[in-house]
């Protein structure tokens, strides 16, 4: 009889590509992953891993079993969903991730609703960037993720995930109070061709969006500062360090010395929740999505 947790470990290795990343995804030590895989090899009587430089790779037998493991774990998820749905009670635990402004703008009201309506449900939350959140849902590290894409740049979402729209989030441009465009009723992105920008860190989805959007308007971005937190970005704008995109969701108080100017070509972030399709019937998922939609003001 194959051990389910060992199959889960093999699946994590196949998804992550290394023992260390599999251990991180499973929240265990690398030695625990190695031990589980060694026991699995003894159970099946075949070599599942082979050395590949300083790491490991799956053998043909390992790849074959990993494919079966993914299907088995999906069936387990379906079974759990069906049992929860049959019972009809919102209990147990649900793990939710969100990008920082969504966590700040949506999580407080969402948690308040879930505590009031479903006191036996334990909710755990964490901040993750959109692409990281999608991977976390696929790996089973979180049950539900709040992610975003932009009106002119979509976030790839695999077909095995289900999504629910939460809200459209308009954005402005934040400029220092003494900026030449601070008192304008509207601006075009082209107006900032000579300005320095404060941006999200390189490699993040929103950084790539900013580069793509400015270049599509004929503006070569001059990035002066990188900061992941919007409050940090706005503090830099107040100090005269440049200009930045300022989404409205979770914005909070704007520092003295900062002015927000609407963009004539409206820039919107589409915010939605995603979860595994095989978990669709779980009452806890449905309750969490409903609470997020309520917090977002969705009809």
pLDDT tens per residue across span 28-53: 889 989 999 999 999 999 899 988 88
For the whole prediction, is pTM greater than 0.85?
Answer: no
**pLDDT computed for residue 158 by the predictor:** 86
**pLDDT computed for residue 56 by the predictor:** 87
For 224-251, the DSSP string reads EEE-SSHHHHHHHHHTTS-BEEEESTT-
**pLDDT computed for residue 136 by the predictor:** 86
Residue 140 · residue 72 · CB < 8 Å: no
CA–chain centroid gap for 64, Å, is: 30
Q: What is the helix (H) or strand (E) element at residue 35, kind and residue range? A: helix 30-44
**pLDDT computed for residue 86 by the predictor:** 61
**pLDDT computed for residue 207 by the predictor:** 93
Q: How many whole angstroms separate alpha carbon 233 and alpha carbon 9?
A: 40
Residue 22 · residue 66 · CB < 8 Å: no
**pLDDT computed for residue 16 by the predictor:** 81
Task: List strand residue ranges (DSSP E) for the chain, in order.
Answer: 49-52, 55-58, 92-98, 121-127, 144-150, 161-176, 197-199, 223-226, 244-247, 258-262, 268-276
**pLDDT computed for residue 138 by the predictor:** 83
Residues of the chain with pLDDT under 50: none
CA–chain centroid gap for 298, Å, is: 20
């Amino acid at each position: 009889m194959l051990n389910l947790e060992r199959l889960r470990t093999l699946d994590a290795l196949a998804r992550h590509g290394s023992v260390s990343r599999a251990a991180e995804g499973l929240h265990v030590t690398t030695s625990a992953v190695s031990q589980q895989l060694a026991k699995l090899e003894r159970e099946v009587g075949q070599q599942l891993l082979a050395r590949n430089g300083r790491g490991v790779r799956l053998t043909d037998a390992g790849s074959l079993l990993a494919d079966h493991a993914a299907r088995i774990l999906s069936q387990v998820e379906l079974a759990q969903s069906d049992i929860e749905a049959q019972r009809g009670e919102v209990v147990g635990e649900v793990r939710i991730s969100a990008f920082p402004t969504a966590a700040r703008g949506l999580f407080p009201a969402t948690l308040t609703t879930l505590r009031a309506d479903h006191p036996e449900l334990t909710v755990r939350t964490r901040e993750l960037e959109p692409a990281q959140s999608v991977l976390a849902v696929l790996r089973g590290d979180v049950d539900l993720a709040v992610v975003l894409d932009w009106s002119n740049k979509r976030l790839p979402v695999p077909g095995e995930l289900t999504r629910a729209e939460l809200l459209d989030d308009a954005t402005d441009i934040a400029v220092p109070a003494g900026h030449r465009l601070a008192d304008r009723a509207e601006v075009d992105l082209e107006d900032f061709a000579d300005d320095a920008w404060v941006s999200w860190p390189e490699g993040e989805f929103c950084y790539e969006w900013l580069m793509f959007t400015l270049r599509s308007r004929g503006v070569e971005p001059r990035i002066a500062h990188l900061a992941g937190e919007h409050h940090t970005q706005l503090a830099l704008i107040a100090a005269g360090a440049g200009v930045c995109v300022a989404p409205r969701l979770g914005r909070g108080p704007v520092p003295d010395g900062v002015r927000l100017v609407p963009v004539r070509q409206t820039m919107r972030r589409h915010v939605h929740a995603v979860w595994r399709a095989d978990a669709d019937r779980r009452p806890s998922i449905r309750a969490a999505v409903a609470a997020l939609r309520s917090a977002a003001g969705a009809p």
